[in-house]
A and B are shown apart, each in its own frame.
Chain A
Amino acid sequence: MVYRAHVLICGEPRCVEKGARDVEAALTQKIQELGLENEVQILEASALGHGEQGPELVVYPEGVHYVNLRPEDATRIVEEHLFKGRPIAELQYKEPPSEPLPAPSHKEIRVVLDKIGKIDPENIDDYIALDGYAALAKVLGGMSRDEVLVVLKTSGLRGRGGAGFPTHLKWSFAKNAPGDVKYVICNADEGDPGAFMNRRVLEGDPHAVIEGMAIAAYVIGARQGYIYVRAEYPIAISTLRVALAQAREYGLLGENILDTHFSFDLEIRMGAGAFVCGEETALMKSIEGVRGMPTTRPPFPATSGLWGKPSNINNVETYANVPQILLKGGAWFASMGTEKSKGTKTFAVAGKVARTGLIEVPLGITIREIVYDVGGGVLDGKKFKAVQTGGPMGGCIPEKYLDLPVDYENLAAVGSIMGSGGFVVMDEETCMVDIARFFMEFTQEESCGKCVPCRVGTRRMLEILEHICAGKGKPGDIEMLETLAEKIGFGSLCGLGQGAPNPVLSTLEHFRDEYEAHIYEKRCPAKVCKALIEYRIEAETCIGCTRCARNCPVNAISGKAKQVHVIDPETCIRCGICAQVCPVDAVKVE
């Protein structure tokens, strides 16, 4: 019999405890009353994902998720939704306001994010029900290590941590490296400001990462792996702990996995707040329990990594792609993307854009499509100025490249990088010199201090940028920044120092006029740099309510009640409170 609709109702103990059986009874009764029993099928399911708000049920084919149900709600669902076809909004599950993962826009394709929100991350059965661990079973059940590499090569998967190194090559280096003891490491030290896709994957689909790592371990011949997670992500860590325990319980980790000769286990290691630990050699030092400082390459981790043993290190998103590639085939993955950059990429869209949050798009999509079609355009209808990609080692891409297809090579060609997927949109009210100063402050703070060009050079660059923003820029500053940028990039050991000048170089290239306005005209075109702006009260708008004068922390505003007020620029500290409190928007920035 073909049913028109299916209702999945949660039969987990905690939902039953809260009355799921009564809800189911009411549902069945009403369905029979309305004679829908041949059209609607009720199925008992395991956790549907929001058991804390149980009893819960999902109506398919629409996939509408109802939570906190009482029997009378069930009656209404049958009447309204199943009978009349009108889903009931107020009974539906609502994403917590802090972190919506809304329905994908039509430009999105979800591979890595596909299961997030559909499964209960703390229930391995949910993952298995959606083909979870089928890839591992397929690999262990009869694929040679080289066959796995061939599939990966066909897929064209490249490292999603930012550098874009072909994954099959990296794995084959570690596989071919001599040695009995090898390690598989997952870099989950997602430190790039504005990038939180790895957190979401770890919190929403942890088994995909575990499965990907187990397959990597099989290929390179490792028995032990580490997931290095930053301590800023406590929920990701606790979710992973549960996932690891369940995988062990099911024999998917540990000795003789799926009754084969393959044995593998994983441990979680946590950072303690050091951005540079996202660099692979520094990360391995941190796992070893010492200062997380980068070391020279070569030797590369594939030959001499953790404790000097051959190690394969990939990031969360790379591993999470692997199981699906092995199940659906390399050609499927390679059918998405551009010639050299295959598949999809997650981006964390943030900044001045209408819809912020995580997206997953096929590579080759243009910046315009991400900002306008997926992101809903610039916030408040303001003008797009630039997008900053790739985190603090990336660059700012101006408006003229809006139609640039996003892939590893194209981003590099315009002075930025893919990075781990940060995508910060900036509008006309963002000062590009301030942004460059801001990123330099970040890298300067996070420089581990090992290399002089990075340790001292970034400080010198930061000082110059601070001077420019403070209105003390002088001729020659721009040229000095360029010289320093070149030397720092050339002379630093790791990606942090090499990439540190990028935000300055890219803003200099695309927004040189803003630097010049700051230095030569002592003017901040975006009206951001405090030293270069002045607050003024528009006489014709001011209603003399005295609110600004009363709130000014330094008494810089004078004026009698019902008369026009005036700001004394000498006393004013440009805190902006007057503009915040003015009821008629009379305070203007110049």
Chain B
Amino acid sequence: MDKALTQTIHRALTRHANSQESLVEMLREINAELGYLSAETLGGLADALKLPRSQVLSVASFYSMLDLEPRGTHVIKLCQDAPCHVAGGQEIWETLERELGISFGATTPDGKWTLLTTSCIGACAVGPVMMVDDDIYGNLTPERVREILAQVADQDRAGGRT
């Protein structure tokens, strides 16, 4: 296991005093740091906590905010719940798929965008709503979605990311 990974796992363990009951929290923190949870990561954490690997995988695969696959540079999460749907979410869904050329659950071939759904983020009064990484965008229209995507791409170019 490479050193950076060992350290990440070690830091999470220290923060939670090696407590098995904090498994969900540790997984979420490691996920945030590394982008996803590889088999190696899960194995390392299981061994350190003296838990069966099967149990750690069972927890990691249960919660939707824990990723078992690598994600794109930007993760878009569209709220798929009723208030957003009633407010025009279907149109936004189609716009995103069309603009990025991928369906939900997928990552663009260039590794730039991942398209996912999220459960309600509690911003129903301004639906339809999506998250781009950690930012929430509300009152979406197809036009607004195109603007946001272009804006994020522009920022990447300005920041030297392609």
Contact = CB atoms under 8 A, between A and B. Distances in A.
Interface of A: 98-100, 190-196, 199, 231-233, 269-275, 286-293, 348-352, 356-358, 388, 392, 422, 424, 426, 430, 435, 438-439, 441-442, 446, 448, 553, 575-577, 580
Interface centre among B27, B91, B122 (most CB of A within 10 A): B122
A442 B25 contact: no
B123 interface: yes
Contact of B66 (A98, A269, A273, A439): A273
B85 A272 contact: no
A435 B63 CA distance: 25
Interface string B46-88: 0000000001001100111110000000000001111111110
Interface of B: 19-25, 27-28, 55, 58-59, 62-66, 79-87, 91, 94, 98, 118-127, 136, 138, 142
A351 B86 contact: yes
B146 to A, nearest CB: 12
- State the majority secondary structure of interface residues on B: helix
Contacts, number: 137
Contact of B125 (A272, A348, A553, A575): A348
Contact of B124 (A269, A356, A438, A441): A356
7 contacts: A273-B119, A286-B24, A289-B23, A348-B125, A435-B86, A438-B82, A575-B98
A576 B28 CA distance: 39
Contacts of A100: 125
Nearest to A553: B98
B122 A271 contact: no
Nearest 7 interchain pairs by C-beta:
A193-B81, A196-B122, A273-B65, A272-B63, A350-B83, A273-B64, A289-B21
Contact of A292 (B62, B83, B120): B62
Contacts of B79: 193
Contact of B122 (A233, A292, A351, A439): A233
Nearest to B87: A351
Q: Which of B65, B83, B94 has the most CB of A within 10 A?
A: B83
Given A231-B28, A426-B86, A287 B119 contact: no
Given A269-B24, A272-B28, A291-B62, 4 more contacts: A98-B136, A193-B79, A272-B66, A350-B125
Contacts of B59: 289-291
A196 B62 contact: no
B98, B118, B120: residue with the most chain A Cβ atoms closer than 10 Å: B120
B63 A273 contact: yes
Given A196-B123, A232-B118, A291-B58, A270 B24 contact: yes
Contacts of B122: 190, 195-196, 199, 232-233
Contacts of A290: 23, 55, 58-59
Given A442-B80, A553-B98, A193 B66 contact: no
Given A193-B82, A196-B122, A289-B24, A350 B127 contact: yes
Nearest to A101: B125
B24 A192 contact: no
Nearest to B63: A272
A576 B92 CA distance: 12
Nearest to A577: B142
B120 A430 contact: no
Contacts of B24: 269-272, 286, 289
B120 A99 contact: no
Contacts of B119: 191, 193, 232, 273, 275, 446
A274 B63 contact: yes
Nearest to B82: A193
Contacts of B124: 193-196, 348, 350, 356
B96 to A, nearest CB: 13
B98 A193 contact: no
A288 B20 CA distance: 8
B135 to A, nearest CB: 11
A441 B119 CA distance: 12
A351 B83 contact: yes
Contacts of A190: 122
B41 to A, nearest CB: 15
